[in-house]
Structure 1
């Protein structure tokens, strides 16, 4: 015992020494495993008071929009534009808007003369014009939008410009109106007079919806989030609404953004057409959809706008439906990076789209580098609550379902939910999504205080540190995302109600905890199979090999191998049915697995939602009518189950299993037994019935009666004989390479599938081939796994005893790393490492479980023959010197950028072979040949001097030499002489070579 305590003390001292730069939380945490916080002085985070973006660096979709102390606003049909180097955000149905210089801090501007409707804005010659074509024909203008003063500027020719959006082409001075929202009528464009706003010419249809050929433009009834109408049923398939046309001129092309299929669907999204002229014709992009997000808490990404930020990067802002109480609710905002590739293909980035992303202006290349890398730590983790309204289960707050939510039984202060992340995590951000349950009134009037709460963290679920304090929250944020200003390392996250408005219950759609950027893994899946439907080419089925420990997968797809611009996110499953494809092109697919590095918790619904076995108490009070009370029973695994029936008055009572056997009674209870102040039972009936599973008895059922001041209570107790663990089969998993090189050192990982048990200790015995391997060392998979003993008890047997601080519970949870070395002289054979005993300690019950064992066979390769890399090293040094000295430019002796890039690629490929210890001589020789060929091509690409006759001046004499050899190619017999006229090194003499020499002849004519 003394040795054990000494080891623990040493571990604690080591951990304290390593924590330079951070401090232990001083508030609440007093136990031996405190929360670690970087800078406690910046916590807790309070209300920001901001309308749109709440944080300095990141955002997390979906985003709530507010104004002052008013109710959450409808983020409908959002438009973001830049005017005089500031951002402006407009949404429909508002007499005002917001502006920001940095996209972080937004200021509300009230504008009483602003047209109210589906808003649109356009800049024309230094002034900003606004309109709402759905509702009226007015156009208003301002040269100072921060003032909120807009004056009438003209009237449209029509009040039927539904979903109106204008484009002013500064190069031509022409103004165009795009409008239309319909399932069959399409989107039109018409040219307007830029001063009167009257039509010039006739409208032209740009596009119609095409659900026959574009799967993502099809409304499927089973894709519905909530219905928008009740006069009919949704058909199995319907035309999508083609709506929200929004133009953008970019690099000389005209892009027309449009939305399809409707706000009420998970697959609501955006697509684009492109044209060379604003009036068309417009060509459909087969890379569509541009934005479409069907999974997670924020499905739907349609009817918004595209804009360029201050750095010229393109973004798409969308509106998304937000279900309340499982039905139609609010409309919120989503923001996605968007790009235009070298071939002019516009594409959006929705993968990890409802995880924290960087704000515009933070990253130089947001289309490729905008995800923070903070993964979702709370996904399907164990949740503890203060109370639960039946059918609104705790698991619903962490299941990433857009419609489900957990609700407490009341909205009283103190109602709470706690998420166990399964391990101490690096927490970077927290997002809470609220629902509405049991509220009174319509929720329209402004309040002084909205949903108010606190967030605390802990490492033991007992001692808590406050990190977010919104106890007096003045903002109606349907979604509340907090980017933590300092590092927080903790295992448990507790969300506590302080105030719920509108007399509602404390209802949480999602408590989302993000972080672990260093522990998270992103793994490309190798075995992916996609099958296109023969009957309906809009559809495909994708299946892939599961990755151990993966929580989810990003399935990328596209019509070119290097342009997989579309994606879905899948949690847990290793398959996906897609119906968003375009009929004509072929598709390519890839899958990326992601993991937070935390244990996987498997919910036991017998424990969390009940057995389905209920108890009925039949009441026959003296002089009263007969009634029945009913309660659900829950597994507790060794902790006595107690079910309480209150307000017991004198009479006759009977306890039964609902629809089943009688357990107790009928029993007469008297006033003497039920009225009084004693804390002891006045009536006891024990061992009434047995309960258990299979052939194993767990315990017996008893009834006890307690008195009260005006009435008594009956407690039904399912009393356990002893600590009972569920009938489970935990499993040991061996990980690591299946093949190693002679003489090499390697690591075998020991992971556990705990089958929903909290494992706090292990006693594991390993057996290995002593003629093949020798044992090196054992370490814990993380800092919470402490090796108490690890020693050889025989030449081929290793015993390891470990303790897990905080416990382990999950699927494929890493526990130990055991290092071995291949013995000298051993090669071309197979060795075996096996777990022959695995005893797991469960807490707090103290039960010991025997895990399923595992064996791993490892092949040892042969010795690698000596490989001579001298020539390769020399070739690399030569090429690198040539690369370093080369100057990019158009002057003689300089090189084109693409030629230098090609040489660098060849150098890197050669270096990869040089650094590969398993490279064969043949691979080395081929690398030398390939690099020398690349060097020759690079040298040939140098910009030649136009002074061909080498007389010190470029003139018609040089031009004559090119004209003389005009038409010659590398296949010509006299190419050896003719190639002096090949200026661009393309192995032919043509007009390009003539033009090059002519352009370098001195003189104003040629210079012009």
Structure 2
């Protein structure tokens, strides 16, 4: 994602000169990102494309959604809705944008991708729904060619070639129609072969998580079923699908299984399999599952921002598994905290245990515009934003962590407040310095991005060495947008105090409407929040919901014919406490 263009450098010459004096205080003690980061933090930091679909309304926003990730010849490729290109990675950790020689003008829409025996990479997903099947043996170059046949009236397609050479197309994006598919004639230009098969549709009266709206609580509209993706594992076909809607905190993926690509398919009892309704940024639906380094599976999904427009989105990455009973599941617990990356072969996918040091700590800033107040940078809400005054030439924001803490990583999340940018721009970059202090008087640079020429809208930096500090100050030097706007300045590490005690008084009241359960527990002294876990057996607590500053939760995502087990754990900046006694509901 380097953009070391002379034009980009020229734009910042005057600004860098003006800040040179302040930059002299940066010493050799500066902590920079490790040469190869061993951890990552959602949302994935890509140079997301600015959408043009609402340019006629002067609505400017970045978005990345519906990621289709596949391996090809020892590397990985990520195709994202309307991105005017795609991304390449050697390790599924660091991603570099590919500007292909030939591509869809607006980018693919809800793309499908498939690696056929490391010889050809296929992609489809034209925004019109009437599409060609593209192929290349050099995706890094992007000399795509089209199969001489058109696939008609397909939305959110999934393309799949089985081990025996049979090929299939699946699709669906509707609050009425089911996921459907048919076989393609591999020898005849992938034209349809056989009749269309209807696989399954939403059953909202049985599956609480398929209901539309924030917390599955829209009063009138039905949920959407979309985003088919087929994964074959040990002879079983896992047909994944998304519901109930991309703009909601509840956007998730479920799965049906079969012993044949054309079904019949059976609903998995632990659905939804990829679900993240709590925390800083929500959503884990409409994505793909890919085998990464060392054979570890990863699920990539869509996360919602929905501030400038309802389809303002980001990409999330979560470790995925198949248990001994063949149940597919995705670990989203603490899913927007640092985890070990695919580039770390021994620990990949594991939670680092680095906690949030900055949450709701005292904040001051150089200036504030209107209601876009400084506390919005650390309230763990991606939809709230700090914006300084327009004439603030040296904006900064400062957080008092309250005590000396060990800092391991930082994440800066920018927002597109009145950005007025459209399409794919090559000269975008962010520059800033994050400084640390023990006393608020003597400062040293913790992260130095003053010479950065990369576009990093969700910039995550793992420190090369842990740092001790109490005060953190972010100084913005350059943003590509008209206005600086920060939705999250997140400081990770460990505090010097005690982890919270075990949660007590945990209870569950399952409603007459068995899709819903109300959970409550006693507050734990010193807790920032709580992580609720649940599942279909004591050893299958595959779902999680993180909440801050509350000791109850209305969970509306259950399946009516399923029994469940629940537990909850308290956490704070010092770590995670012991889980409560487990509760079973019939």
Within the alignment, does 1:178 sit opposite 2:170 as a pair? yes
Displacement of 1:92 after TM fit? 2.6
Within the alignment, does 1:587 sit opposite 2:556 as a pair? no
Query: For 1:889-912, what per-residue CA distance to the aligned partner results, in whole angstroms no more than 9, with x for missing partners?
Result: xxxxxxxxxxxxxxxxxxxxxxxx
Name the SS for the 1:178 alignment partner: strand
Within the alignment, does 1:151 sit opposite 2:151 as a pair? no
Residue of structure 1 equivalent to 2:99? 110
Residue of structure 2 equivalent to 1:74? 63
C-alpha change, 1:95 and 1:192, in structure 2 (3 Å) is same
1:539-688 equivalence runs, <5 A: 539-597=516-574
1:946-957 equivalence runs, <5 A: none
Report which stretch shifted further, 67-76 or 265-274.
67-76
Displacement of 1:281 after TM fit? 0.8
C-alpha change, 1:201 and 1:539, in structure 2 (3 Å) is same
**For residues 389 and 95 of structure 1, what CA distance do their matches in structure 2 show?**
34
Displacement of 1:318 after TM fit? 0.9
Across the two proteins, how many residue pairs are aligned to each other?
538
C-alpha change, 1:277 and 1:517, in structure 2 (3 Å) is farther
Which of 403, 406, 414 aligns to 2:394? It is 414
Structure 1 ranges of 4+ moved more than 6 A = 67-72
* Equivalent pair of 2:337/2:354 in contact (CA under 8 Å): yes
Displacement of 1:315 after TM fit? 1.1
C-alpha change, 1:550 and 1:69, in structure 2 (3 Å) is closer
Displacement of 1:123 after TM fit? 2.5
C-alpha change, 1:214 and 1:252, in structure 2 (3 Å) is same
Residue of structure 2 equivalent to 1:488? 467
Within the alignment, does 1:336 sit opposite 2:318 as a pair? yes
Displacement of 1:168 after TM fit? 1.1
Q: Which runs of 5+ in 1 are unaligned?
A: 1-26, 30-39, 49-53, 225-234, 599-1008
Query: For 1:606-638, what per-residue CA distance to the aligned partner results, in whole angstroms no more than 9, with x for missing partners?
Result: xxxxxxxxxxxxxxxxxxxxxxxxxxxxxxxxx
Query: For 1:906-932, what per-residue CA distance to the aligned partner results, in whole angstroms no more than 9, with x for missing partners?
Result: xxxxxxxxxxxxxxxxxxxxxxxxxxx
TM-score w.r.t. the length of structure 1 is 0.51
Query: For 1:95-115, what per-residue CA distance to the aligned partner results, in whole angstroms no more than 9, with x for missing partners?
Result: 532322222444443323345
C-alpha change, 1:565 and 1:141, in structure 2 (3 Å) is same
* Equivalent pair of 1:450/1:474 in contact (CA under 8 Å): yes
Name the SS for the 2:140 alignment partner: helix
Name the SS for the 1:397 alignment partner: helix
TM-score w.r.t. the length of structure 2 is 0.85
**For residues 463 and 503 of structure 1, what CA distance do their matches in structure 2 show?**
32
Residue of structure 2 equivalent to 1:611? none
C-alpha change, 1:123 and 1:503, in structure 2 (3 Å) is closer
Which has more helix, going by share of residues?
Answer: 1
**For residues 354 and 470 of structure 2, what CA distance do their matches in structure 1 show?**
16
Which of 209, 212, 230 aligns to 2:202? It is 209
C-alpha change, 1:515 and 1:181, in structure 2 (3 Å) is same
Displacement of 1:372 after TM fit? 0.7
Displacement of 1:255 after TM fit? 0.1
Q: Which runs of 5+ in 2 are unaligned?
A: 1-23, 52-59, 576-586
C-alpha change, 1:524 and 1:253, in structure 2 (3 Å) is farther
Displacement of 1:414 after TM fit? 2.2
Displacement of 1:201 after TM fit? 1.0
C-alpha change, 1:183 and 1:467, in structure 2 (3 Å) is same
Displacement of 1:361 after TM fit? 4.4
**Larger Rg: 1 or 2?**
1
Displacement of 1:518 after TM fit? 8.1
Report which stretch shifted further, 522-531 or 394-403.
522-531
Within the alignment, does 1:45 sit opposite 2:32 as a pair? yes
**For residues 585 and 386 of structure 1, what CA distance do their matches in structure 2 show?**
53
RMSD: 2.8
**For residues 99 and 449 of structure 1, what CA distance do their matches in structure 2 show?**
19
* Equivalent pair of 2:50/2:421 in contact (CA under 8 Å): no
* Equivalent pair of 1:383/1:418 in contact (CA under 8 Å): yes
1:420-569 equivalence runs, <5 A: 420-437=400-417, 439=418, 441-442=420-421, 446=425, 448=427, 450-504=429-483, 506-516=484-494, 521=499, 524-534=502-512, 536-569=513-546
C-alpha change, 1:306 and 1:519, in structure 2 (3 Å) is farther
C-alpha change, 1:435 and 1:123, in structure 2 (3 Å) is closer
* Equivalent pair of 1:451/1:473 in contact (CA under 8 Å): yes
**For residues 420 and 530 of structure 2, what CA distance do their matches in structure 1 show?**
42
Residue of structure 1 equivalent to 2:87? 98
